[in-house]
A and B are shown apart, each in its own frame.
Chain A
Amino acid sequence: MEATATYIKRKSNGQITIKSGNKVERVIRWTLILLTLLTVVAFMFFNYAGLDLAKAIPETAYNLKTMFLEPGLSHFSWGEAIYQVGITLGLAFLATILGAVIAFFLALMAATNLSNRWVSKTIRVVVAFIRAVPTVLWVLIFAISAGLGSEAAVLGMLFHSIAYLVKAFSEAFEEVDKGILEALRSTGASWWHIVTHAILPSTFTYLLSWTFLRFEINFSVAVAMGAAAGAGGIGFELFMASGFYFDLREVGLITYMILLLAIILEIISTRLKSRYFPATSTN
């Protein structure tokens, strides 16, 4: 056994190492250590003002029980509730569909195989910037700059939808077979011909499912905008019920409605995903 000593690596305490100790392992280890440390620091610096856990936990449990076991409406009717859900869906739909149309053209310019390098880079940088501003800030900024109303909400949500879809669409375009593009170019087809005859037909179903995935996201964003930016819809009703009337049963019913819709949308998008993206490309 002594002869093998040349290949054995030992730790400082003389024990034999068994980890390969490559870069990947080191990066993973340091990422985990750093995140753990930051978590500890976070809990130390939390603002615990007015928090009484001994009271808050049983109270929340009681609230949850009331909300989910005795839901009901008191400040508005069922018809009104459904109308408000309609508004939320409408906001989400508008932001998604307008976003998809605009993103389609921007993605053509961002796809490296269809555009020049600088245009593509510029669009990517702009998109990264837009994504970095939280949607709620966009909505609030538009609310003062464009005047309150659904325009502000749609515009604000539109920004993120565009950013998200440009990334997804341009990646789909880039995966189109090079040979097809080359063949069309060699026949003297114009750029628009290539787009309408090669790019669009071969990516259409992808674009559609990505758009639907974004609609699913936009639904919950629309709820959030209603609650935090006064954009109306069921989110606003939720905010009123919990923050203004303190009506737990109504909060419960609204939450159920949102949950139900979100689950339906999720089921549809999961179906689409497994149908059109067999090799999960979720990231």
Chain B
Amino acid sequence: MNEKVMRNHRKRQTIIFSIIIIVLTYLSSDITNFNIIHGIATLPEAVKWIFSNLFINGETLERLPKILEKLAETILMSIAATTTATVVSIFLGIMGSKTTGTSTALGMFARFVASIARNIPVVAWALILLLSFGQNSVTGYLALFVGSVGFLTRAFIESIDEASLSAVEALRATGATYFQIVYKAVIPQCLPQMISWILFMIETNIRSATLVGILTGTGIGYSFDLYYKTLNYNAVALVTFSIVLSVIVIELISNHIRKVIL
């Protein structure tokens, strides 16, 4: 009896849930003018187009040095944004974590800053900064930097919260100062986790840097945009492949580092 009621209840829940999803899907398609049939129908054509247009030929390879230079610029920018954001985030993370925080007001402040920085999308930051910084690497760098501070601070707060408090207690009992405790008992415990997040952030930033580059006219994003707008699809293919290759290589390196340190 009871089981039957429960099963009916569950059935009803499933039905309601499905209806909600279907209604939302319908509304979304309606508002965005998305036609799933049309979407699926164009897919084979799109794939055909990709294979017949997006390939690399000898002529585009001449552009390789220039593309690689732009790619290097983008990668370096992503790394610089991540590392400098790390420095800020460590302080904000220490302020914001329950384990190491010294006052609730400072903790709230750190969490607030991180939340704003993270929840305003990187594109928005890029557009805002573009107004006064102009089209150069610094604009992209700053946009990525702000986004990274937001994300890393949250990640660091979580890592620090997870660190065991026992060593903190022991160091406190020896008469160590606050910074000694943080540096000797807390950081060593979270360092591998933090590095893992930093590597993750670099990977993410390289992808975002392409996007930001399209807006700010720098790096590999600019190259892509340029060839895309001049309909030079072979060069577009080369740019895409160079990004894919570098992202995969960086991912492999980070995974290797993670495997050793975690």
> Which residue in chain A gives the minimum CB-CB distance to B233?
A144
Whether the pair A242, B120 counts as a contact (CB closer than 8 A) is no
Whether the pair B127, A242 counts as a contact (CB closer than 8 A) is yes
User: B248 CB to closest chain A CB, in angstroms?
Assistant: 5
Q: Which of A8-16, A34-42, A106-114 contacts B (4 or more CB under 8 A)?
A: A34-42
Whether the pair B34, A151 counts as a contact (CB closer than 8 A) is yes
Q: A90-B32, A129-B244, A154-B32 are in contact. Are A42 and B130 (CB under 8 A)?
A: no
Chain B: residues with Cβ within 8 Å of the partner, total of: 87
When the two chains form the complex, which single residue of B31, B127, B134, B210 contacts A137, counting CB atoms closer than 8 Å? B210
> Which residue in chain B gives the minimum CB-CB distance to A128?
B248
> Which residue in chain B gives the minimum CB-CB distance to A130?
B244
Closest 9 CB pairs of A and B: A90-B28, A42-B76, A59-B132, A42-B80, A145-B49, A262-B119, A145-B46, A132-B247, A146-B42
- State the CA gap A38–B73 with chains docked (Å): 11
Whether the pair B133, A51 counts as a contact (CB closer than 8 A) is yes
A254: chain B residues at CB < 8 Å are 124
CB of B182 within 8 A of chain A?
Answer: no
Give the interface SS of chain B, mostly helix, strand, loop or mixed.
helix
CB of B77 within 8 A of chain A?
Answer: yes
Whether the pair A239, B127 counts as a contact (CB closer than 8 A) is yes
In chain A between 106 and 151, which residues have their CB closer than 8 angstroms to a CB of chain B? Answer: 128-129, 131-137, 140-142, 144-147, 149-151
Q: A46-B138, A48-B138 are in contact. Are A238 and B123 (CB under 8 A)?
A: yes
Whether the pair A137, B240 counts as a contact (CB closer than 8 A) is yes
Q: A48-B138, A128-B251 are in contact. Are A56 and B132 (CB under 8 A)?
A: yes
B82: chain A residues at CB < 8 Å are 35
In chain B between 25 and 65, which residues have their CB closer than 8 angstroms to a CB of chain A? Answer: 25, 27-36, 38-39, 42-43, 45-47, 49-50, 53-54
CB of B89 within 8 A of chain A?
Answer: no
16 interchain pairs (CB within 8 A)?
A27-B260, A31-B195, A43-B80, A46-B141, A47-B218, A50-B135, A51-B134, A56-B132, A87-B31, A90-B31, A98-B36, A137-B243, A227-B127, A228-B215, A242-B128, A246-B131
Whether the pair B196, A232 counts as a contact (CB closer than 8 A) is no
In chain A between 51 and 68, which residues have their CB closer than 8 angstroms to a CB of chain B? Answer: 51, 55-56, 59-60, 63-64, 67
CB of A259 within 8 A of chain B?
Answer: yes
B181: chain A residues at CB < 8 Å are none
- State the CA gap A228–B228 with chains docked (Å): 13
User: A167 CB to closest chain B CB, in angstroms?
Assistant: 12
Whether the pair A28, B25 counts as a contact (CB closer than 8 A) is no
CB of A174 within 8 A of chain B?
Answer: no
CB of B84 within 8 A of chain A?
Answer: yes
- A sample of 15 more A-B contacts (CB under 8 A), given A45-B76, A266-B115, is A46-B137, A55-B132, A59-B132, A90-B31, A97-B24, A132-B244, A136-B221, A141-B240, A145-B49, A151-B42, A224-B122, A227-B127, A239-B215, A255-B120, A263-B115
- State the CA gap A107–B245 with chains docked (Å): 24
Whether the pair A251, B162 counts as a contact (CB closer than 8 A) is no
- State the CA gap A63–B103 with chains docked (Å): 32
When the two chains form the complex, which single residue of B118, B221, B257 contacts A31, counting CB atoms closer than 8 Å? B257
When the two chains form the complex, which single residue of A24, A63, A228 contacts B261, counting CB atoms closer than 8 Å? A24
Chain A: residues with Cβ within 8 Å of the partner, total of: 84
CB of A165 within 8 A of chain B?
Answer: no
B29: chain A residues at CB < 8 Å are 90, 94
Whether the pair A93, B133 counts as a contact (CB closer than 8 A) is no
> Which residue in chain A gives the minimum CB-CB distance to B135?
A50
Whether the pair B131, A242 counts as a contact (CB closer than 8 A) is yes
- State the CA gap A223–B162 with chains docked (Å): 33
B244: chain A residues at CB < 8 Å are 129, 132-133
CB of A220 within 8 A of chain B?
Answer: yes
Whether the pair A28, B247 counts as a contact (CB closer than 8 A) is no
- State the CA gap A89–B118 with chains docked (Å): 18
When the two chains form the complex, which single residue of A135, A263, A280 contacts B162, counting CB atoms closer than 8 Å? A280
CB of A162 within 8 A of chain B?
Answer: no
- State the CA gap A272–B77 with chains docked (Å): 34
